[in-house]
Amino acid sequence: MIQSWRDEWKQGDFPFYFVQLADFRDESAAPQESGWAELREAQTMTLAKLPNTGQAVITDLGEAHDIHPKDKQNVAKRLARWALAKDYGIGIPYRSPEFKSSEVNGNKIIVMMDHVGGGLDTFDVRKLVGLAIAGEDKVFKWAEAKIVGKDKIEVWSADVANPVAVRYAWADNPVCNLQSREGLPVTPFRSDDWPGLTADVHK
């Protein structure tokens, strides 16, 4: 859609900023596959595939039973940050932290993040929530986690002795609280590339 509009309007790669899907539907008691999370992942992939695009993450602003968040002000403010920073040269934080890489260290996974601003932080409660890990069996379990550096998180679970994959905010309506110190929520992510619910839908 973005490319087709740019082609039709013949204005070059003009700025295009969009809102990631909000948290929606019922919360899940255990980690599970999520078509909503896969759609968010597809949106995030746009940032790397198309120049001059930006994404406002709003997994903390949604309504379980209304696809349109009532809090329009903060949605708009997060979009405005992109425009102010990228198009008007104002030096403010604008991009939500994003997954960079992960590595297994014994029974833990170390996650490195990009675009962390002043560093990673939590909101609401100090305990970091929203992460899950899995072993080769691909069965995800809720994980314990702690911030161990400005851009680094350590993740583990007593139920997963040999973890190989980590996910964050991977749900229709994720319960998660990781953000930058500037208050921008971390972009939902996964380290695995295992086929999900939507992998074969259009084949």
What's the pLDDT at 201? 60
Nearest to 176 by CA among 45, 23, 20, 21: 23
Q: Which residues contact 109 (CB under 8 A, 6 or more apart)?
A: 102, 103, 133, 154, 155, 156, 163, 165, 166, 191
Q: How many residues does the chain have?
A: 203
- Cα maximum dimension of the chain: 55
Instruction: Give the pLDDT of the chain (203 residues) as one tens digit per residue.
Output: 999 999 999 999 999 999 999 998 899 999 999 999 999 999 999 999 999 999 999 999 998 888 899 999 999 999 999 999 999 999 999 999 999 999 999 999 999 999 999 999 999 999 999 999 999 999 999 999 999 999 999 999 999 999 999 999 999 999 999 999 999 999 999 999 999 999 766 55
pLDDT at 151: 98
HSE, side-chain direction, 13 A CA sphere, residue 175 = 15
Task: Spell out where the chain has E strands.
Answer: 16-19, 53-56, 98-105, 108-114, 120-122, 131-134, 140-142, 144-149, 152-156, 165-168, 178-180, 189-190
Contacts of residue 137, defined as CB under 8 A and 6 or more positions apart, other chains included, come to none
Predicted pLDDT at 199:
78
Distances from the Cα of 128 to the Cα of 10, 13, 65, angstroms = 46, 38, 25
Q: How far apart are CA 10 and CA 15, in angstroms?
A: 13
Question: In this predicted structure, what is the pLDDT of residue 67?
Answer: 84
